Amino acid sequence: MLIMVRRAASGLGSPALCSARISKLSGHLCAMAQPAPEQVFNKPKVELHVHLDGAIRVQTILDVAKRRGISLPATTAQQMKERIILQEPDTLTGFLGKFNEYMHVVAGDREAIQRIAFEFVEDKAREGVLYVEVRYSPHLLSNCKVEPIPWNQKQGDLCPDEVVRLVNKGLSEGERAFRIKARSILCCMRHMPSWSDDVVELCEIYRNEGVVGIDLAGDESLNCEANPDHRKAYEKAVRAGIHRTVHAGEVGPAAVVREAVEVLKTERVGHGYGTLGDPDLYRELLAQDMHFEVCPLSSKLTGACNSDFTKHPVITFMRDKANYSLNTDDPLIFNSTLNDDYFLAQEHMGFTEEEFKRLNIKSAKSCFLPEKEKNELLSRLYEAYGMIESTPF
Ligand SMILES: [Zn+2]
């Protein structure tokens, strides 16, 4: 989420492409002329790139608004969906505007934050996800000890530290209730370098309570040379043994990916499509088995990639047996589930069951769990896939 350059918008929420309904993959369904089947890959999956604040249930937004006496421009889930969901490739303003529709409802509210984390785990369990890493900026859900206070909130008493505790609680309760594993990654924001030191500190404090890594999200044109606080935070993360990922090469060029790898010492690349613009860098990253967190539907709707899925960079990753995952990114905004991304991959990019297995094994190997838990996750996948552990990938 929060990316910079996008192609010009067509009418937001316009009925131009699809007729009346806002349903699963609306807009895309029309283009694909067929619905996503129930489960394309009906086996346990691993998801590594999804934003908590982009994965909230619409009904929860309505419930919380009602409880807090916040008036929204829509009163039914359907109307609210029509405002929030992105149906066609959009501009930056259009995409960011989606967060303005609801972030002020959940930010600063303890009950809401714990609830969205809990419900997130339930939703992922339903999608057949066995292990998920969910990311968010604690600052963007706070209303104290954050400068500036986001979403036009008034000063309150919910600070980033408590936000992390609330999310940890919601996730761990969800883990127990729905019997999957859910861990979190804390995001630095490229336009807010002054928050980054807090973020790495929170990663250290809560590393044994569910926080497994650090991320850098936002406008890729803001590099780390001009914003050294991000670099310093990542250097701290390296010293403390905190796992690292960075949004890079989503809409930005290969140079952003190179900086993420060489300066920030990232272990995974969020999206990374731009890598293909620099064949030398791509070869290097292939050789070091760098993990790319690919989000197919997201990359179309944010304008990061060509809207023709048959030209998607992940097809190159697949052919080269690269290390990558398939992810939803912001399923609330895209009105999607992980199955939709798998469906697109199968239907438009030639993905097979074998490739789905391979990429999930690679995802598990690239996750930020401690070694012992990672091995347990891998064993469960091998068993579910009917594979023996020595299968070379
Ligand atoms: Zn993202």
Domains of the chain, by residue range, sit at 45-382
d(CA 250, CA 190) in angstroms, rounded, equals 14
CA 294–ligand 1 middle distance (angstroms): 9
- Given a cut of 70, whether residue 113 has pLDDT beyond it is yes
User: Tokens 């790319």 — which residue?
Assistant: 292
Distance (Å) from CA 287 to ligand 1 centroid: 25
pLDDT surpasses 50 at 291: yes
pLDDT score at 94:
75
Cα-to-centroid distance, 117 and ligand 1 (Å): 17
Look up the CATH number of domain 45-382. Answer: 3.20.20.140
What's the mean pLDDT in 343-358? 95
Helices (H), the chain: 28-32, 58-68, 77-84, 92-100, 103-106, 110-126, 160-178, 196-205, 228-240, 254-262, 279-287, 296-301, 313-319, 331-334, 338-349, 353-365, 371-384
49 CA → ligand 1 middle, Å: 6
3 CA distance to ligand 1 middle (Å): 9
What is the Å distance from ligand 1's center to 247 Cα?
7
Q: Which of 83-97, 126-140, 141-155, 257-271 has the lowest mean pLDDT?
A: 83-97
Q: Indicate the pTM of the whole model.
A: 0.89
Spatial contact of 105 and 61, defined as CB atoms under 8 Å apart: yes
Distance, CA 51 to ligand 1 centroid (Å)?
6
Mean pLDDT of the chain: 89
Listing DSSP states for 239-296 in one string gives HHT-EEEEEESSSS-HHHHHHHHHTS--SEEEE-GGGGG-HHHHHHHHHTT-EEEE-H
- Please tell me the predicted confidence (pLDDT) of residue 222: 85
Question: Mean pLDDT throughout 251-257?
Answer: 94
Closest by CA position to 116, among listed 136, 96, 87, 86: 136
Q: How far is the CA of 390 from the centre of ligand 1 (A)?
A: 33
SS3 177: helix
- pLDDT band for position 168 (cuts 50, 70, 90): very high
- CA dist 59 to 62, 63, 111, 332, Å? 5, 6, 15, 11
Q: Which of 133, 175, 220, 250 is catalytic?
A: 250
The C-alpha atoms of residue 173 and residue 167 are separated, in whole angstroms, by 10
Q: What is the pLDDT of residues 29-87, one digit of tens each?
A: 333 344 556 789 999 999 999 999 999 999 999 999 999 999 999 989 999 999 999 88
Distance 139 CA to ligand 1 centre (A): 16
Residue identified by tokens 């969901």 is 85
Burial classification of residue 35, based on how many CB atoms lie within 10 Å of its CB (0-12 exposed, 13-18 middle, 19 or more buried): exposed
250 an active-site residue?
yes
**CA dist list (Å): 287 to 246, 290, 326:** 19, 8, 20
Q: How far is the centre of ligand 1, averaged over its atoms, from the C-alpha of 208 (Å)?
A: 24
Distance from the CA of 385 to the center of ligand 1, in angstroms?
A: 28
pLDDT above 50 for 6: no
